[in-house]
Amino acid sequence: MGVGRFWGWTPIAEIQGRCRLSGAPVSCRACFSILLVKCLFLGICVADNSKPNILLIMADDLGIGDVGCYGNDTLRTPNIDRLAKEGIQLSQHLSAAPLCTPSRAAFLTGRHAFRSGKWHQGVNCEFRTDHCHHPLNHGFDYFYGMPFTLINDCQINKPPEVDAAFRAKLWVYTQVIVLGMLTLTTGKLAGLISVSWKILMCLITLSFLFFISWYSSFGFIRYWNCILMRNYEITEQPMVLERTATLMLKEAISFITRNKHRPFLLFVSLLHVHIPLVTTKQFLGKSKHGLYGDNVEEMDWVVGKILNAIEQEGLKNTTFIYFTSDHGGHLEAREGNVQLGGSNGIYKGGKGMGGWEGGIRVPGIFRWPGVLPAGEVIDEPTSLMDIYPTVVHLGGGEMPHDRVIDGHNLIPLLQGTVKHSDHHFLFHYCGIHLHAARWHQKDSNKVWKVHYKTPNFHPEGAGACYGRGVCPCSGEHVTYHDPPLLFDLSRDPSETSPLSPDTEPFYHTVIERVTEAIVEHQKTFHPVSQQFSTNNIMWKPWLQPCCGMFPFCSCDKEGDNGHTAL
């Protein structure tokens, strides 16, 4: 099941009143903050009993073409489809970025991730147990999940994912050094080399230190990275992925049961359908699309169990539910010739591919019986950044006035009191690089899309960056378009036919208007510290969470909990 991402946090909003979630009421100054390492369930506060419960469910790497209500007729997603039938489905719902970290940061803050700059990595700041970036120190009452990123290394017998190419080079260097040391030692013993034993021992020691320096980090990634926490306590190190889905689901249902008598906010950030696609035996081989399809159908089952818990506790009519994905499907996810990534339907591109629609157009489904209409589809541009101001509104809070918020409250649009989204322009970034922008021309109901940069697919014409994991955001592997590419998404949602002055009489007008909007948008930027320096991303042993005595970190406090039937 899902493990989402929790990162460091800075106070964003203050919900008026006292928080009533789990345990005693607490001050609720920091109900949302910045996201950047992986977690799962973040319970947040709502002002009083007149407010709804709020349940946010986010899938990981799910393509919009993987869901039945968005056109897939070969994968079974009855629970997500039922959610759409009983609520509202957005057909132009967009992530703020085509990659996990910036998309989720924007989701939790209501603003582009580059505005915050410092996306905290890890849990600690100065020492192993200070928990400075932990959600409990940033407004949350309860946490259960994975504080780091889910990767292939978390599953035994899977090929390595973290810096795999670099690791392969280090192994080659190590083998060359070992061969060199063996040659020198043999030569010394045979009297063929006159080097002193002292120098030889120094070289062997340096070689050993070289090996230890990199293997202590890369060789134990499963132990360092793949851990499960409940609040401040590590419960599994390393995680047993085969039972994680059940543990996460049980925790979500337990949270709902414990808090059914008072308003709550529960954020369930699913592990599904991110690789390594760990799927329980119940669903293996059941779909028409291999392991990925099995994982999608298991995800839908998990969603159904959570919805059932809401309904069994009598909370259906008092719970605002939202389902989405952090971005489009990961087309490059493969193992040999087996595709492990999803489908983005008719849309071009996918995860990590700048502004192409397939990487940023995601499912967006809302349900709140009696308050929101049922069975409706809204074809207006909306964003994951809209969820933060929407939740603040539902919680009776006030939006912060000391920063730029890029999202808008969706309730008027969802209830039908307005016809159009508040977004005139949306800007699509790959990292800190602006790749594209769209203009919702409301008087004509057209949606124009302008591309300034696009990734170079590999091999050429392949539709993805195979062999590279994800597409680069800048540099030699990106095409810079001058003049930019222009598409009319209202007629060409697949972005197959770029317009020109010869084919579109308003070409220059649109380009000029979007350019003006970008200039105004960029005036709102303020310098911020960036995270991805070498010092920030390097592994620091003294900050490594550890169950036991470092470096012998290992524990399993979940026991057989993950095998209990649900």
- Full DSSP string of 330-384: -TT-EETTEE-S---TTSS--TT-TT-HHHHB--EEEE-TTTS-SSEEE-S-EEG
Yes or no: say if 365 and 89 are a contact pair by the CB < 8 Å rule. yes
Q: How far separated are the first and last CA of the chain, in Å rounded?
A: 14
In terms of DSSP H, where are the helices of 86-163?
Answer: 100-109, 113-116
CA 558 vs CA 156, 222, 430: distances in Å: 19, 18, 39
Beta bridge partners of 449: 438, 487
Dihedral sign of CA atoms 448, 432, 135, 224 in order: positive
Contacts of 165 (CB under 8 A, 6+ apart): none
Which residues are annotated as catalytic? 100, 120
Contacts of 518 (CB under 8 A, 6+ apart): 427, 434, 437
| Whole-number Å distance between alpha carbons of 62 and 343 | 8
- At CB < 8 A and 24+ separation, what contacts does 209-216 make? 210/173, 210/174, 210/177, 211/174, 211/177, 214/170, 216/541, 216/551
| Whole-number Å distance between alpha carbons of 364 and 342 | 17
| Whole-number Å distance between alpha carbons of 48 and 474 | 47
For 485, the 3-state DSSP assignment is strand
Token pair of 283 as six digits: 């669903």
| Whole-number Å distance between alpha carbons of 302 and 321 | 15
- In terms of Cβ atoms closer than 10 Å to its own Cβ (0-12, 13-18, 19+), residue 78 is middle
For 99, the 3-state DSSP assignment is coil
Yes or no: say if 106 and 404 are a contact pair by the CB < 8 Å rule. no
The one-letter code for the residue type at 336 is G
| Whole-number Å distance between alpha carbons of 23 and 319 | 20
The angle formed by the CA atoms of residues 107, 322 and 241, to the nearest 5 degrees, is 75
Within 10 angstroms of residue 49's Cβ, the number of other Cβ atoms is: 10
Question: Which candidate, 320, 321, 376, 328, places its Cα nearest to that of 349?
Answer: 328
Within 10 angstroms of residue 461's Cβ, the number of other Cβ atoms is: 6
* C-alpha dihedral (24, 271, 245, 84), degrees to nearest 10: 80
